[in-house]
């Protein structure tokens, strides 16, 4: 080990700083040249966690392995034993403090996740109470695509009653508003309205849309 000139007070400071979280500048003593001890690799800056789990802004100073060797070479066996016992006690207390912080942070995290999940669930299940025509068309298209994926064998031809039920469950519109909007989408060429051959060929003819041409009971998206 290189020869480093340190006085008795500096040796004592190295002993004091030999803890898990180190020691403050005040603990080491005002007359201690901390910069000198750091430059020689005997001390290092350390930023322990506060009780709230955040990193402490002001550094504390902790003895390095090199610093430990330095002060141990100048310390009696009896005094070294006392230091080791003291360090174990400090370590135990630090671990207990860390577990308290960790437990608090975990509880806060669980609470935040629960709140977030609740918020997401509410948003996903909440009905849209006011919407523009473009928003309503978007919802109809989304529900149409879901049903098309669920029943691929139908070739994109979806029953109007089934589509209406899905759309109304996501919005505040009623059956009449839905029917009028579907007819308008048909007139614009966005969808094709498909007619039932006769009222006996469908399960719920009363839930179709009566038009001069007949009973519109199916839709097929054109674009």
pLDDT tens-digit profile of 58-108?
888 998 988 888 888 776 677 667 666 766 676 676 677 667 767 777 877
3-state secondary structure of 53: coil
Provide the sign of the torsion angle of the four alpha carbons 168, 173, 175, 180, taken in this order.
negative
pTM over 0.85, yes/no: no
What pLDDT, on a 0 to 100 scale, did the predictor assign at position 106? 81
Most confident of 41-45, 53-57, 81-85, 206-210: 206-210
Spell out the long-range contacts of 180-185 with Cβ–Cβ below 8 A and sequence spacing 24 or more.
Answer: 181/133, 181/136, 181/137, 181/140, 182/140, 182/209, 182/216, 182/219, 183/209, 183/211, 183/216, 185/137, 185/140
pLDDT tens-digit profile of 102-129?
777 787 788 788 778 766 655 544 455 5
174, pLDDT greater than 80: yes
């Amino acid at each position: 080990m290189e020869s480093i000139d340190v006085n008795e007070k500096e040796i004592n400071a190295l002993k004091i700083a030999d803890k898990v979280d180190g020691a403050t500048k005040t603990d080491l003593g005002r007359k201690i040249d901390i910069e000198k001890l750091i430059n020689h690799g005997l001390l290092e800056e350390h930023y322990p966690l506060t009780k709230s789990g955040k990193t402490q802004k002001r550094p504390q100073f902790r003895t390095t392995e090199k610093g430990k060797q330095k002060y141990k070479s100048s310390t009696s066996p009896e005094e070294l034993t006392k230091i080791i016992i003291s360090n174990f006690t400090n370590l135990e207390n630090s671990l207990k403090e860390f577990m308290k912080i960790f437990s608090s942070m975990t509880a806060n995290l669980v609470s935040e996740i629960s709140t977030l999940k609740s918020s997401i669930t509410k948003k996903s299940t909440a009905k849209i109470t006011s919407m523009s025509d473009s928003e309503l068309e978007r919802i109809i298209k989304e529900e149409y695509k879901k049903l098309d994926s669920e029943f691929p064998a139908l070739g994109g031809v979806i029953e109007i009653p089934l589509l209406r039920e899905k759309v109304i469950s996501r919005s505040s519109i009623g059956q009449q508003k839905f029917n009028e909007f579907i007819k308008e989408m048909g007139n614009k060429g966005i969808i094709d309205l498909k007619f039932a051959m006769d009222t006996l060929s469908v399960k719920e003819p009363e839930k179709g849309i009566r038009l001069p041409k007949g009973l519109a009971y199916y839709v097929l998206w054109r674009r």
